[in-house]
Amino acid sequence: MAGGPRWKRNGNNLSARTAADDGDAPVECSQVIVHAGSRVFSIYGYTDGRLYVADDTAGADRIRLGTDGDVSIYAAKDNASSAVTTSAVQSLINKNLDDPTNTFPEITPAAHAATHQDGGADEVATATPAAAAIPKADAGGTLNAWVDAAPVVGSASATAQTASIGATNLLATGHAAGLYRVSATLRTTTAGSAGTATLSLTWTGNGIAESLDTMIGINLTSTAQSDGGLGFQAAILHSDGAPAIQYAVTVAGAAGSPQYAVDLVIERLA
């Protein structure tokens, strides 16, 4: 048929005009209807094996894309056709795109932030630590579960002590070289009439034998901190990994049967 089919409204679709409408026989085709504002376009395959993009506006042009590579514009108003250059097709497309009346409705996404938050249908964070997961505060509003505490690698505790404690391993030899923190408390638990107790540390760092001779010193005549009966301290040290990191408590001048307790913990920092 000369110049390809022209179209008429048929419910929600377009259909080929009959011979009475156009002087040609009816044509079967499959098509997609596109609404752009008040304009209606159809994209359809025709029996000649070509793809057509048609403007349903009366007397408007339509573009034919041939399987053999040809591009033509068909003038619907007179059913005449003529092959055109690619630039001419682009000009037609640009003309429609530049027309301010050819606008598409503006779409505003629905508010959905709540779906990604705590308890939402598409929650993105989690309070349970996991690889590559997004952290979420726990019920107390903290991220404690996500924050690694310095690992405790050793500890020691002794109560009701009446005499000195010789050098004792807090962390055995062969531990990883690096930075450590030792925290300790030394306290009088039963006051005597005289005496002192002193906590000390020894280790080797950077090839040098090191010692903290008086990490904590207490008075064995009182259990009150204000009278020197309680002491606590922390020390950061670098160890070569060998020999052991050791502690000791030295009691001097004890009288009246005083007793003391000592507690230590060592953490690996780096």
| pLDDT tens per residue across all 270 residues of the chain | 344 444 444 444 445 455 454 444 444 445 666 666 666 666 666 666 666 666 655 555 555 555 444 444 444 433 344 444 444 445 555 555 555 555 555 667 788 888 898 888 899 999 888 888 999 998 888 888 888 777 899 999 999 999 999 999 999 999 999 999 999 999 999 999 999 999 999 999 999 999 999 999 999 999 999 999 999 999 999 999 999 999 999 999 999 999 999 999 999 998
What number does CATH give the domain 152-268? 2.60.120.340
Handedness of CA 162, 166, 169, 170 (dihedral sign): positive
User: Which residues in the chain are classed under CATH 2.60.120.340?
Assistant: 152-268
Token readout for 105 is 């409705």
Q: Are 251 and 164 in contact (CB under 8 A)?
A: yes
Long-range contacts of 216-219 (CB under 8 A, 24+ apart): 216/184, 216/185, 216/186, 217/186, 218/186, 218/187, 218/188, 218/260, 219/188, 219/195
C-alpha distance from residue 68 to each of 27, 64, 72, 81, 184 (Å): 22, 11, 12, 17, 88
Output the pLDDT for position 3. 44
Output the pLDDT for position 57. 57
Output the pLDDT for position 77. 34
Q: Name the pTM for this structure.
A: 0.51
Helix (H) or strand (E) holding 48: none
